[in-house]
């Protein structure tokens, strides 16, 4: 069979005012652009699970396709903000008689909705079920829903080597590698891999090494983005991983939480291993706003460590991209100034602010729905992280929207960005970088 694996990419903010702001303050959508241009590791993994007898083509779709490439089977991976575009694409393929299988975050969360546009849906990790999907498609006996695995990705199975070679010849700023799945935290709003994996799982360091060897064979000194929700949870694994990674002499980015700074030696080792930046979900500078956002109240308990953690990492040369969510239930209209004050006080090199977003399938979505606070039942194309889709608890929708715009203007104003750049230059130039054992 000729199999087309189609990754939906690119997210467009819906709010007209924010779009206009983005034109003048492009900094605030930079991270979004980076994410949108990352290759789909999920589909590269699917490709690797596909028997060699089939011809696999990988395509990224960021605009509606004028001409549909011919395939016998199409696999579409999507996320919530592009669900409608993915459905439209699926409908076009099915109208011409091509079988369509959908997967990815959104289809996994709402398989029955996706089935209105697809012949089959893979819900969850595809590791165990994709070969069956291919067999059934070949035999003309596709089932409607294939329930994928949700645990033991790296412990009960040999990690699958994604087919990175399918990316050759395309301009990527970053190549993605996954080192873990899930997250030990359990945040109300999280629609990431945590939803599919009740356990936090880390890939054996040797398996990551093999992927690095493969990637560096294919690409000249790629900049890596680890496609993890939380990389540095386990100190022993982190040390082993960083020592191995340092041997590749690459630059990289990842996401983690503040515990990474609990041991200063780890920050130094990260720098030595090529870490350019870590993204940390600080979520809020207000303890009251953090209260209750995760089941064990971990983030509220760690609020007192925020400044120290940022300083530890940045003093070691690892810049921190601090992420904040505004519109949390305990936020009041002064939250915007508080975020701005925290960014200044902390010396964060980069900052990302998003609006609380009730992705379908999350506890947040269920709660807001039961409280009658969702502005619409379905608003998937507005799940951009910048558009408001619910009634905040202690402010109006308008106050939240205008507060976000004010905060963006303040944080991404040229003088604010330049101040952060100068801080970074001053930090980095004072760091000695001998390649020594850091721990």
Partner 1 sequence: MTATATVGQSAEDIIRRIIADITLKPTTSFGLDDDLPRLLSLDSLSLLRIVADIEATFNVRVDDARFHELRTLRAMLGEVNRR
Q: Which residues bind partner 1 (CB under 8 A)?
A: 171, 173, 220-221, 223, 249-251, 276-277, 319, 349, 418-419, 421-422, 424-426, 428-433
Kindly state the smallest distance separating residue 344's Cβ from partner 1, in Å: 16
Q: What angle do CA 60, 63, 133 make, to 5 degrees?
A: 45
Kindly state the smallest distance separating residue 388's Cβ from partner 1, in Å: 29
- 66 vs 220 by CB, closer to partner 1: 220
- 170 vs 236 by CB, closer to partner 1: 170
Kindly state the smallest distance separating residue 279's Cβ from partner 1, in Å: 12
- The CA-atom distances, in angstroms, between 62 and each of 8, 9, 10, 39, 323 are 6, 5, 5, 12, 25
Give 68: exposed, middle or buried? Use CB within 10 Å, 0-12, 13-18, 19+.
middle
Residues 21, 409 contacting (CB under 8 angstroms): yes
**What is the rounded CA–CA span in Å between residue 395 and residue 147?**
40
Size of the chain in residues: 439
- 206 vs 414 by CB, closer to partner 1: 414
Kindly state the smallest distance separating residue 222's Cβ from partner 1, in Å: 9
41 contacts: CB under 8 Å, gap ≥ 6? 162, 176, 177, 178, 227
Encoded tokens for 429: 């130039």
**What is the rounded CA–CA span in Å between residue 82 and residue 9?**
8
Q: Does the CA dihedral 258-263-264-266 come out positive or negative?
A: negative
* H or E segment and range at residue 281: strand 275-283
- 187 vs 275 by CB, closer to partner 1: 275
Kindly state the smallest distance separating residue 426's Cβ from partner 1, in Å: 8
- 143 vs 419 by CB, closer to partner 1: 419
Kindly state the smallest distance separating residue 302's Cβ from partner 1, in Å: 26
**What is the rounded CA–CA span in Å between residue 212 and residue 81?**
31
Kindly state the smallest distance separating residue 317's Cβ from partner 1, in Å: 9
Residues 257, 305 contacting (CB under 8 angstroms): no
- 169 vs 171 by CB, closer to partner 1: 171
**What is the rounded CA–CA span in Å between residue 380 and residue 331?**
24
Q: In a 3-state reduction of DSSP, which class is residue 70?
A: coil
- 8 vs 250 by CB, closer to partner 1: 250
Kindly state the smallest distance separating residue 231's Cβ from partner 1, in Å: 18
- 180 vs 277 by CB, closer to partner 1: 277
């Amino acid at each position: 069979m000729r199999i087309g694996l189609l990754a939906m990419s690119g997210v467009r903010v819906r709010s007209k005012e924010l779009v206009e702001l983005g034109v003048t303050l492009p900094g605030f959508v930079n991270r979004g652009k980076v994410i949108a241009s990352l290759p789909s590791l999920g589909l590269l993994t699917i490709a690797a699970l596909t028997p060699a007898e089939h011809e696999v083509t990988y395509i990224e779709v960021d605009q509606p396709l004028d001409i549909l490439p011919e395939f016998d089977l199409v696999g579409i991976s999507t996320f919530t903000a592009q669900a409608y575009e993915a459905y439209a694409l699926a409908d076009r393929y099915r109208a011409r008689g091509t079988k369509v299988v959908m997967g990815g975050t959104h289809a996994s969360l709402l398989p029955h909705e996706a089935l209105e546009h697809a012949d089959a849906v893979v819900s969850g990790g595809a590791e165990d079920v994709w070969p069956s999907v291919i067999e059934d498609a070949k035999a003309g006996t596709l089932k409607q829903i294939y329930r994928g695995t949700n645990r033991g990705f790296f412990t009960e199975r040999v990690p699958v080597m994604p087919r990175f070679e399918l990316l050759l010849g395309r301009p990527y700023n970053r190549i993605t590698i996954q080192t873990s799945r899930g997250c030990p935290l359990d945040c109300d709003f999280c629609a990431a891999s945590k939803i599919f994996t009740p356990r936090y799982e880390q890939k054996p360091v040797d398996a990551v090494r093999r992927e690095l060897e493969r990637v560096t064979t294919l690409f000249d000194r790629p900049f890596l983005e680890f496609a993890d929700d939380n990389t540095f949870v386990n100190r022993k694994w982190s040390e082993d991983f960083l020592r191995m990674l340092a041997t590749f002499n690459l630059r990289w980015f990842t996401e983690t939480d503040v515990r990474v700074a609990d041991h200063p030696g780890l920050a130094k080792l990260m720098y030595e291993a090529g870490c350019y930046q870590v993204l940390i979900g600080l979520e809020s500078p207000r303890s009251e706003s953090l209260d209750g956002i995760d089941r064990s109240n971990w983030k509220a308990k760690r609020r007192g460590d925020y400044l120290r953690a940022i300083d530890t990492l940045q003093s070691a040369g690892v810049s921190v991209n601090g992420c904040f969510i505004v519109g949390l239930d305990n936020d009041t209209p002064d939250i915007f100034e508080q975020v701005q004050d925290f960014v200044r006080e902390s010396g964060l090199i980069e900052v990302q602010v998003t609006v609380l977003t009730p992705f379908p399938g999350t506890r947040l979505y269920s709660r807001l729905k039961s409280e009658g606070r969702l502005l619409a039942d379905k608003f998937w194309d507005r799940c951009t992280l910048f558009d408001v889709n619910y009634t905040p608890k202690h402010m109006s929708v308008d106050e939240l929207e205008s507060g976000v715009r004010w905060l963006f203007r303040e944080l991404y104003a040229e003088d604010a960005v330049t101040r952060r750049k100068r801080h970074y230059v001053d930090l980095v130039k004072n760091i000695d970088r001998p390649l020594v054992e850091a721990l």
